[in-house]
Amino acid sequence: MFLIVGYVIILVASLGTFAVHGNVFALWVPTEYIAIMGLLVGGFIASNGPKVLKSAIGSLGLALKGSKFNRALYVDLLSLLYEILAKVRKEGLMSIENDVENPGSSPIFAKYPVLAADHHLIEFTCDYLRMMVGGNLNAFEIENLMDMEIETHHQEAHQAPHAIDEIGQAMPAFGIVVCVMGVVNTMGSVGEPPAVLGKMVAGALVGTFLGILISYGFVGPLASQIKQKITESGKIFQVVKVVLLASMNGYAPQIAVEFGRKVLFSTDRPTFLELEQEIKSRKG
């Protein structure tokens, strides 16, 4: 939503101010638009493999959607982890074996449908709970493995916005290419009247205008929005990590979820009392 609002402001600020003292239709040179968009698409395809292209296309919707990562979601996550760890503390690690192996039929996971719909999160959580049940790895080894998996997820997720940002940085240069082609065409028509030559030069400069505007006004903000959404989506795995590690190190479920609460961004972090009251109400 904010991306669209920003785009509208950019267009009004650029085209609107130009229209005050000039003819905005002078910027409509179809061949310049075709050339600049062709260079954008061609450069993007040439620079990336099929996986990145598919990921980039799929991430476009991410920039337009509101974030689902808010205080309510994290309260659900901490409550879910508390329930699992409380069951472990009361009945032993083997008591969650069925929940871990079949999260889709688990009564605990069923209480949190929004979290259960996030397959990557559930897979991440269940994988490490399964390792805890197996008892073959210590907390230090699991922490290293978690860090590597989170880092891998981070790198993979950032390939798409990085590719978008890279092509955005190339757009001013593509604009110059289009402009130079227009100037070359103009130089071949030096015998024309000044009014005609002026119009041809103005048309060529539209290419430079488009390259810069598309780069910093459209592609750059798009890549930035996607990066921010990806960064937000990675925080949830850090919460799971610190809560499970705290439990493995012997902390009670209530203290373990407090570890997770502390790593949240301030805008999404419930207070200690809010989380405690929420957990008590769900237990009741």
pLDDT in tens, 105-122: 888 999 899 998 889 999
The answer to whether the beta carbons of residues 10 and 188 sit under 8 Å apart is no
Q: What is the mean pLDDT of the chain?
A: 87
- What is the reported pLDDT for 65? 80
- The total of other beta-carbon atoms located within 10 Å of residue 278's CB is 17
Question: Rounded CA gap, 39 and 219, in Å?
Answer: 14
Question: Rounded CA gap, 217 and 212, in Å?
Answer: 8
Whether residue 244 is contained in a domain is answered as yes
- What is the reported pLDDT for 28? 85
Question: Identity (one letter) of the amino acid at 49?
Answer: G
**Count of the separate structural domains present in the chain:** 1
- What is the reported pLDDT for 124? 93
208-248 tens-digit pLDDT: 889 999 999 999 999 999 998 888 888 999 999 999 999 98
- What is the reported pLDDT for 46? 92
The closest of 215, 212, 172, 166 to 56, measured between CA atoms, is 166
Whether residue 7 is contained in a domain is answered as no
Terminal Cα-to-Cα distance of the chain (whole angstroms): 39
Question: Rounded CA gap, 125 and 85, in Å?
Answer: 12
**Count of H-run helices and E-run strands, the chain:** 15, 0
- What is the reported pLDDT for 185? 78
The residue to which tokens 């409509």 are assigned? 28
The whole-number average pLDDT for the span 10-22 is 81
The answer to whether the beta carbons of residues 257 and 82 sit under 8 Å apart is yes
The answer to whether the beta carbons of residues 204 and 183 sit under 8 Å apart is yes
Q: Is the pLDDT of residue 135 over 80?
A: no
- What is the reported pLDDT for 283? 67
- What is the reported pLDDT for 52? 92
The answer to whether the beta carbons of residues 220 and 165 sit under 8 Å apart is yes
Question: Rounded CA gap, 102 and 100, in Å?
Answer: 6
Question: Rounded CA gap, 247 and 163, in Å?
Answer: 39
Whether residue 196 is contained in a domain is answered as yes
Whether residue 4 is contained in a domain is answered as no
Range of the domain at 44: 30-284
46-90 tens-digit pLDDT: 999 999 999 988 888 888 887 788 899 999 999 999 999 999 989
- What is the reported pLDDT for 221? 92
Whether residue 10 is contained in a domain is answered as no
Alpha helices in 111-219 (DSSP H): 113-116, 119-134, 139-157, 159-187, 194-213
Whether residue 16 is contained in a domain is answered as no
- What is the reported pLDDT for 284? 53
Whether residue 19 is contained in a domain is answered as no
The residue to which tokens 């449908």 are assigned? 113
- What is the reported pLDDT for 39? 92
Most confidently predicted of 8-12, 131-135, 239-243: 239-243
Give residue 264's pLDDT band: very low, low, confident or very high (50, 70, 90).
Answer: very high
- What is the reported pLDDT for 50? 92
- What is the reported pLDDT for 97? 86
DSSP-derived 3-state class of residue 254 = helix
CA 137, distance to chain mean position in Å, is 32
- What is the reported pLDDT for 24? 78
177-212 tens-digit pLDDT: 888 888 877 777 766 777 777 777 777 888 888 999
Report the 3 state secondary structure along 120-144: HHHHHHHHHHHHHHHCCCCHHHHHH
Angstrom CA distances, 204 to 11, 88, 195, 247, stand at: 20, 70, 14, 65
